[in-house]
Structure 1
Amino acid sequence: MRGTVKKSGSSWYVQFDLGKDPQTGKRKQKKKRGFKTQKEAQKYLNEQLNAIHKGTFFEPKDITFSEYVDYWFENYAVSNTSQKTMEVYSYIIKQHLKPSLGHFKISKLLPSHLQEYYSKKLKDGKIEGGGLSAQSVKHHHRLISKVLKDAVKWEFLTRNVAESVEPPKTKKTEMHTWDSYEVKTFLYSSRTSTYYWVYLTAIYTGMRRGEILGLRWQDVDFENHIIYVRQTMQPIINQGLTFKEPKSGKGRSITITPFLTKELKKLYKKQLENKLSFGSSYQDQGLVFSQVNGNPLQPSEVSKKFLKAIEAANLHRIRFHDLRHTHATLMLQQGVHPKVVSERLGHSTISITLDIYSHVLPNMQKEAANQFDQLLDSL
């Protein structure tokens, strides 16, 4: 299949061959105008020719939601999302969206169809029986909205019907953290565990589990007491463990305490001993936290061991991710500026930090008022 990009006045247009009409035998062509630049027109043409080659090209008036969502997945999700996100999208599309909404012509899809879909999923959306959570259905809504938003952009539709639908409201998840006494109790109890350094790093830095397990020795600056977060570990179905950029899309640096630096040096020495012990069979990947033979730690195993360590310490149960919340909460309670905490956590904006940890701020306000009162007490 061939196509051309041409200029007409101040804008550009594309024209490409759709093959022969099976009824008339004549060649069919499609033309699209209104591109501001040649580059924009060429990109559109390449996308359409690629879709024709793959057999996923459809005329907007004839396409079903099932056909379109396959087209969207091939032409957007595959090249614009991470492997993990793509897997999640693929599962939702195959298990939920296509069976329930796939038969509708995309041009005939109504807000009421989506509203009925959400209600049904809340009642009996699980494959094994029972309803999906409001949070899960909200994820479905976000995906549908994105899919239809692109349909408007690509001129399959004139409006996004998902914008007229109210997704289910979700309750804010209650945050569970430890205070300083509980942190000390836990670290003392788990001091002989092979995962001790993992727990210690999580508490002292607020790093995510994947960031901790993806940390390499080359990312640790012992001299200046800095950890550089440059990659994160992510388990991928059928691919095992992979490493990619951090969640924010860019790395960050975290200043660490002399105590954590000293403890990581101990771990480094222990790893050198393991290398000598295993010899050529040691799987050196440069990771700070690894199995005794050098292989990466399994994220799920780290979380399981963490829960067992909590039981052994006789503390109230929290998730591994809550160590990140614990780090942030303790820092804020000590009067550390929210901007600094935000940078340590890798939040894209300080507003995210303030929103998540708003429960800590009222106490900080009270303490600040008391300190100011003491400052001017002599007046």
Structure 2
Amino acid sequence: MTHAASLRIRPTSKGVSYDVRYRLDGASKTLAFGDEARAREWAGLVRQHGPEFALTWVKRDVGPTTPTVAEYADTYIASKSGVEGKTLDHYRMFMRRSIGPWMGHLPLNMVTPEVIAGWINEQAAPTREVDGKLPRPLGAKTIKNRHGFLYAMFQHAVQRGVVDRNPCEGTNMPASESREMTFLSGDEYTRLLSFIPPYWQPLVQTLAGTGMRWSEATALRPGDFDLEAGVVRVSRAWKDSIAKGRYLGAPKTSRSKRTISLPPGLITLLRPLVEQRGELVFTNRHGNAILQQTFHKEVWAPARNLANGRPAFDIVKDHKPHWVPNRGGHEWHQEPASVGDRIHKEPRIHDLRHTHASWLINGGTPLPVIQRRLGHESITTTVDRYGHLSPDNLTAAALAVQVAMAGALPEIES
């Protein structure tokens, strides 16, 4: 809800008064200021947060040394060590697009849980136009990420005695509506793989056979492999930032640095690529690093279309009249899958990682082992994402309890 406030300049015996007119409980009110900048700032608070909040700002002794949210955010972001450039870019984007316009002007100790709640509601269901139109609503995960940054920033301020409480504590967050993971059976994966051009199949097989993240697999060097021992070492991944562009750095978390055992068939498939001793094991056709966006557009999406019985490219939608069979070395000569062979699923590239986890679970691999193989920082992540895929484990748990309690439970008569 937007509140009205207007500024009027009124001559007085002592000079000029800056009067802000607003409405409270249905009645017109006026608050006078001797300073125009302060009057305009207060009028902005009324419009954005309502007169009740704005009046508490006037009555409260904020203090000249209390930094605003925008000022403290600059300090907090600058203090972050060991954080990758892309993460810092996101923090600055949060301030520029979302947090700054809503509360960046407020002193830290004027931010209340109600201000935080209003900010969250405005992101989930925008009511204020920007450049003449309403912004699109943000998803629950995006809002959660921005709130997480703000929570950490206020916690930083609490620990340093700048404020005495964190207004982000206990915030009710929007319900998450994350996209469902897609799991492929062995047969479905084989059918999808048959539509991947041979040049790209070793990369896809590595993603599915190891559960690596895209950024990890495409950063692999020949020296990361020990084919005689049948393992590969993950020690780096591709990163992005505004300052550095695309560069190689440490994997996502400390546990992401790991050694993964390779299926025997994958070792045979990868040996020629590893023994070439190039800078990277997987490259595009020009010998350069592979970009996920390009791979998705030119390889993954067409193969997925074919596996679902559709043409590789929608000529009208994709504007690709030059994509014809056997041109440019892209090998899109396959006919779409017949009705009986379609996979009827729309997996993302990252779903190969989820599919890998589902195969491990179906094979009886314990979740802690899966955690280490996938490089999850916490077993909680593994359980939350994949625990529901192992109903047999739940059944076994119930039977184990039954055995332990056999002497105390009544006999069941047939």
TM-score in terms of structure 1 length: 0.72
1:215-237 Cα shifts (integer Å, max 9, x gaps) = 11110111111010010112333
Q: 1:344 to 1:366 in 2, by over 3 A?
A: same
Aligned mates of 1:215, 1:308 — CA distance in 2: 25
Corresponding position of 1:240: 245
Give, in angstroms, the shift of residue 158 of structure 1: 1.0
8 Å CA contact 2:254–2:377 kept in 1: the answer is no
The aligned runs of 1:5-20 (5 Å cut-off) are none
Aligned mates of 1:368, 1:164 — CA distance in 2: 35
Corresponding position of 2:287: 294
1:141-174 Cα shifts (integer Å, max 9, x gaps) = 1111111100111211111111143222313542
The aligned runs of 1:173-184 (5 Å cut-off) are 173-184=179-190
Aligned mates of 1:126, 1:94 — CA distance in 2: 16
Give, in angstroms, the shift of residue 259 of structure 1: 0.7
Q: 1:80 to 1:258 in 2, by over 3 A?
A: closer
Aligned mates of 2:243, 2:306 — CA distance in 1: 34
1:244-283 Cα shifts (integer Å, max 9, x gaps) = 11112251000001110110013346x57xxxxxxxxxxx
For structure 1, which runs of at least 5 residues remain unmatched after alignment?
1-58, 273-283, 371-379
The aligned runs of 1:1-379 (5 Å cut-off) are 61-74=65-78, 76-77=79-80, 79-124=81-126, 129-190=135-196, 192-237=197-242, 239-250=244-255, 251-268=257-274, 271=276, 286-304=279-297, 305-314=299-308, 315=343, 316-366=345-395
Higher deviation after alignment, 168-177 or 90-99: 168-177
For structure 2, which runs of at least 5 residues remain unmatched after alignment?
1-62, 309-342, 400-414
Q: Classify the secondary structure of the residue corresponding to 2:260.
A: strand
Aligned mates of 1:61, 1:114 — CA distance in 2: 22
Q: Classify the secondary structure of the residue corresponding to 2:376.
A: coil
Q: 1:60 to 1:208 in 2, by over 3 A?
A: farther
Query: Which structure's residues are more often helix, by fraction?
Result: 1
Aligned mates of 1:303, 1:338 — CA distance in 2: 30
Q: Classify the secondary structure of the residue corresponding to 1:195.
A: helix
Give, in angstroms, the shift of residue 365 of structure 1: 4.2
1:82-103 Cα shifts (integer Å, max 9, x gaps) = 1111111111111111111012
Aligned residues with identical type, % of pairs: 28
- The two structures, once aligned, show a CA RMSD in angstroms of 2.4
Q: 1:122 to 1:355 in 2, by over 3 A?
A: same
Aligned mates of 1:163, 1:323 — CA distance in 2: 37
Corresponding position of 1:43: none
1:310-358 Cα shifts (integer Å, max 9, x gaps) = 1122232111111000001011111122222221111123332122112
Structure 1 residue identity aligned to 2:307: A
Corresponding position of 1:278: none
Q: Classify the secondary structure of the residue corresponding to 2:156.
A: helix
Structure having the higher Rg: 2
TM-score in terms of structure 2 length: 0.67
Corresponding position of 1:9: none
Higher deviation after alignment, 199-208 or 288-297: 288-297
Q: Classify the secondary structure of the residue corresponding to 2:364.
A: coil
8 Å CA contact 2:233–2:258 kept in 1: the answer is yes
Structure 2 residue identity aligned to 1:309: A
Ranges of 4+ aligned residues in structure 1 off by more than 6 Å: 125-128, 367-370
Give, in angstroms, the shift of residue 238 of structure 1: 5.4
8 Å CA contact 1:333–1:364 kept in 2: the answer is no
